[in-house]
Structure 1
Amino acid sequence: MCVYYAQQNNLKIYVDWTDPTWTHGGESFYTYFKLVNMPVLNSLDEIPADATYYPKYWKGNIETPLTQELLNQDKQLGINIDLATADKSVDVIVFSCVRSRNLYADSGFFARSFRVVDKKVIAGMKERLKVPLATCIGVHARGTDRAKHTIRKEHSIQFMAVGAFPYASKPMIVVGDDAYSIEIWKRYYPHTVVFGTPALSSNKGNHLATKEELTVSKYDLTVEFLVDFFTLAHCEKVISTFKDSRFAQEARRLHPYVRQIVGNE
């Protein structure tokens, strides 16, 4: 993980979210978070003009957004690197992490290193915490990019509803990226509190939608995504449509530390 690597090697760090997964305009990593307890760069402009880079491609291209088209040229450009074998003799190491998502077991690390700073995310969590989430079952009804057909969405929710039966007496909340999946869930547990309004109902993940396809801004979509994530992390237990859901897994891991990272304590 880049933040841990920077800490272990006493390096300043800058997180660049200029790729279309996270921004359609002026949003950046620092719109939502700040890094604490470590040295940071405030902008790419702080890098000296004569700095050396690894991989070499980024020399003169450091402000180029990381797109799928660029990643497709990896064999020629060599931008997909392994931090463990990175050249430490250079001034700047650039790690492109679109294809390199890993589970990081120590969620306490995130609480020590990250803070949420976006006012809409913090306000959204304050509103949701009016519901006693710590005693709720959090339901993640994922649908858009994992269930290509309506029948599969129905079957996935049915299986999850059966698995949730032991918790039927507990209060439940549901978040998700697909309106139809949430509708199905409500048929089985009609008293479930629904949080948020799915921005898109399709067979493509909302994070991959273009600016024209979204009914809200990328900023508002990311705010809701983060608020949904931290909502699940506050819950007593999290269940999800898919066992390998990264969203649900990380929410479970972050549970003991979520109040610290969001700033509730």
Structure 2
Amino acid sequence: MKYLVVKGWMGFGDRLESLQMCVAFAQLFKLPIYVDWSDSIWSHGSESFYTYFKLLMPTFSLDQIPANATYYPEYWKGNIKEPITQDLFNRNKELKLDLGILQKKEYPADVIVVSSVGRRSIFHDIKFFSDVFRVVDPRIKSIVKERQTKFPLHKSLGFHIRGTDRTKTQAARDRSIQLMAANAVMHGGFSGMPMITVSDDKQSLTIWKRFFPNTIIFSELSVENSSNKGNHLIKKEDLKISKDEMNVDMLVDFFTLASCERILSTFRDSRFAKEAQLLSPYTNTILGNE
């Protein structure tokens, strides 16, 4: 094993989970790592992982891989510069793209390619990841810093209202909001504790404001581009703004949420909210705002 390539698919929380597993694996076997998030969910041409982040680890470019290198899975031989697509995601079993949870063992190839389309290790302590994961985009760093200064995020309840890719009916949307409102009360929602909310769902935010009219709402761009199939799945021609602007807006919201004292979401399995919780103690380190 000489190289580790991490492809991207699905939402930001899922990507972070897969990346954490890959970082742990690369550190264990002292492999250089390259993160290829050139798929259509993350990029419409010019955006990449490295537009917004860096890893304080040895890396490489895909052009540096020798032509005679062997690959695992074998599909990537000759296709290494291809991004993950919906078709590859649908055919991942047929093509044997999913490596599952990376085992602490040597894999039989020079280049190991993790497609981030299947199971991954879950870490409860991710300090190892926070030690090497950094935001480099000054737009994200400055806006989050401004919010941290302007609002008491460190002692606020942070809410993630996930809706556009999960709520299929109005009844389901109403029910998820009602359940989170009940949780908000249990966590001090009427005790004077400041409340902030991030979301990509305009309709759900309207319902939420009926319960807590004084909550601070962020996510302006995401809300204005709200789609019933998930904002990260909107095609380039259907977006009102660029994918880069959408990414920055989402990442600013993510680190705003991670800056809060407590974090709740409309769905228990929201990887976005769970990753914000895990990274919360290390937010300023990752942003370089210490």
Q: Same fold (TM over 0.5)?
A: yes
The answer to whether 1:254 aligns with 2:279 is: yes
Determine the C-alpha separation between the residues in 2 that align with 1:102 and 1:177.
27
- Describe the SS at the equivalent of 2:272: helix
Query: Equivalent of 1:32, from 33, 52, 72?
Result: 52
Q: CA deviation at 1:203?
A: 2.4
Percent of paired sites with the same residue:
54
Query: Equivalent of 1:175, from 195, 198, 223?
Result: 198
Q: Tell me, yes or no, if the aligned pair for 1:124 and 1:227 is still in contact at 8 Å.
A: yes
Q: CA deviation at 1:163?
A: 2.1
Q: Tell me, yes or no, if the aligned pair for 1:54 and 1:87 is still in contact at 8 Å.
A: no
Structure 1 unmatched ranges of 5 or more: none
Match of 2:214 in 1: 191
Matches within 5 A, 1:3-42: 3-36=23-56, 38-41=57-60
Deviations 1:59-95 (A, max 9, x none): 1111111112123333442222243287634221111
Query: Equivalent of 1:113, from 132, 153, 166?
Result: 132
Match of 1:122 in 2: 141
Match of 1:219 in 2: 244
The one-letter amino acid paired with 1:137 is L
**Please, what TM-score do these two structures have when normalized by structure 2?**
0.85
**Please, what TM-score do these two structures have when normalized by structure 1?**
0.93
Match of 1:208 in 2: 233
The one-letter amino acid paired with 1:106 is D
Determine the C-alpha separation between the residues in 2 that align with 1:75 and 1:172.
43
Match of 2:263 in 1: 238
Structure 2 vs 1, CA of residues 246 and 73 (structure 1 numbering), >3 Å: closer, same or farther?
A: closer
Match of 1:69 in 2: 87
The one-letter amino acid paired with 1:35 is L
Deviations 1:165-210 (A, max 9, x none): 2332111111001011111111111111111211433321111121
Q: CA deviation at 1:237?
A: 0.7
Deviations 1:234-263 (A, max 9, x none): 101111111221111111111111111111
The one-letter amino acid paired with 2:55 is L
- Describe the SS at the equivalent of 1:79: coil
Aligned pairs, how many? 263
Match of 2:18 in 1: none
The answer to whether 1:103 aligns with 2:122 is: yes
The one-letter amino acid paired with 2:206 is E
Runs of 4+ that moved beyond 4 A: none
Determine the C-alpha separation between the residues in 1 that align with 2:189 and 2:137.
33
Deviations 1:123-159 (A, max 9, x none): 2212211212001111111111111112221222122
Determine the C-alpha separation between the residues in 1 that align with 2:176 and 2:97.
38
Query: RMSD in angstroms over aligned alpha carbons?
Result: 1.7
Structure 2 vs 1, CA of residues 91 and 146 (structure 1 numbering), >3 Å: closer, same or farther?
A: same
Structure 2 unmatched ranges of 5 or more: 1-20
Q: CA deviation at 1:99?
A: 3.0
Deviates more, 1:83-92 or 1:21-30: 83-92
